[in-house]
Amino acid sequence: MSSEQNPCKNIRVVLVNTTHPGNIGSAARAMKTMGQSSLYLVDPVDFPSGEARALSSGATDLLENAVVTSTLEEAIADCELVVGASARVRGISLSLTDPRDTAQDVVAEAKDGAKVALVFGREDRGLTNEELRLCHRQVHIPSVAEFSSLNLAASVQVLSYELRMAVLAQEGSSKVPEVREHAPASSEQMEGYYKHLRETLEDVGFFKSCNPEKIMTKLRRLYARSRPDRVEYNILRGILSETQVALRSLRK
């Protein structure tokens, strides 16, 4: 897949001067679950570290491939769009966006080939104003004003999730995993089922004064919505057959 098709290749997460290595590991895990793989660490206090490894919970490839730099300037040198994540909204005339709009813009630009950085600050004091000035815009996760600061890895998770949603929306992919275990029943099978259903409903006297055509149209719509698979189809046919057997033995 070329970088044009996979925008994630052009997106990097930059953690600035992180104190706790566990947060680096947790951030790597958060990224990997959402399809992000490029991690930059600016002057980390403790890295590499067993704690980062442990908390990455298998996202060790991101840690092994992490690019370590001594300044933010180096980490973003080749980037065309730099977004700073900030818990506090500062008055430094950067445009401010929410994670959803940010992710859509980031994915769109990354898809066009631009390199994009999402920059996260220190646990205790976030990003400095000088660091924020290196960014083109600020993203703020709309937390409550009285308690606005998320854990570093949690904020990486929120942004990575929004990136993932933006990528899926752009690909037109489903956002829920396909859970179907068996192939859907074929049209021929369903036509056989509707015929069988109608016969059985007639046998049990279901239609009474109702118009069977109208009822069958509604039932077809119901089944079309749920699209039974082959195993479900067999169960449905089995119910009808057993109903007919029971009816026959009652009438004897």
Q: Site size for ligand SAH, by CB under 6 A? A: 19
Which of 20, 140, 164, 198 touches ligand SAH by CB under 6 A?
140
Q: Would you say 85 and 137 are in contact if contact means Cβ atoms under 8 Å apart?
A: no
Phi, then psi, of 81 in degrees rounded to 5: -135, 125
Q: Which of 24-32, 41-49, 83-91, 229-237 is the region at the interface with ligand SAH (rule: CB under 6 A)?
A: 83-91
Query: How close are the terminal C-alpha atoms of the chain, in Å?
Result: 68
Q: Give me the least distance between CB of 118 and ligand SAH, in Å please.
A: 9
Q: Would you say 132 and 83 are in contact if contact means Cβ atoms under 8 Å apart?
A: no
Q: How far apart are CA 49 and CA 207, in angstroms?
A: 72
Task: Spell out, one character per residue from 228 to 247, where the chain touches ligand SAH: x when CB under 6 A holds, - when not.
Answer: --------------------
Q: Give me the least distance between CB of 15 and ligand SAH, in Å please.
A: 9
- Residue 19 per-residue DSSP state: S
Q: Which of 143, 241 has the CB closer to ligand SAH?
A: 143
Which of 39, 141, 190, 201 touches ligand SAH by CB under 6 A?
141
Q: How far apart are CA 120 and CA 132, in angstroms?
A: 10
Amino acid letter, residue 133: R
Q: Which of 52, 236 has the CB closer to ligand SAH?
A: 52
Alpha carbon distances (Å) from 32 to 14, 24, 97, 188: 14, 12, 24, 44
How many C-beta atoms surround the C-beta of residue 178 within 10 A?
6
- In 3D space, the residue among 147, 142, 177 whose CA is nearest the CA of residue 162 turns out to be 142
Question: Does 165 engage in binding with ligand SAH (CB under 6 A)?
Answer: no
Q: Which of 41-49, 86-94, 109-117, 207-215 is the region at the interface with ligand SAH (rule: CB under 6 A)?
A: 86-94
Q: Which of 32-40, 81-89, 202-210, 239-247 is the region at the interface with ligand SAH (rule: CB under 6 A)?
A: 81-89
- In 3D space, the residue among 52, 76, 75 whose CA is nearest the CA of residue 64 turns out to be 52
Q: Which of 73-81, 84-92, 106-114, 167-175 is the region at the interface with ligand SAH (rule: CB under 6 A)?
A: 84-92
Q: Give me the least distance between CB of 122 and ligand SAH, in Å please.
A: 6
108-127: which residues touch ligand SAH (CB under 6 A)? Answer: 120-121, 123, 125-127
Give pairs for 215-224: CB < 8 Å, separation 24+: 219/194, 220/194, 223/190, 223/193, 223/194
Amino acid letter, residue 91: G
Which of 49, 149, 189, 244 touches ligand SAH by CB under 6 A?
149
Binding region for ligand SAH (CB under 6 A): 85-88, 120-121, 123, 125-127, 139-141, 143, 148-150, 152, 155
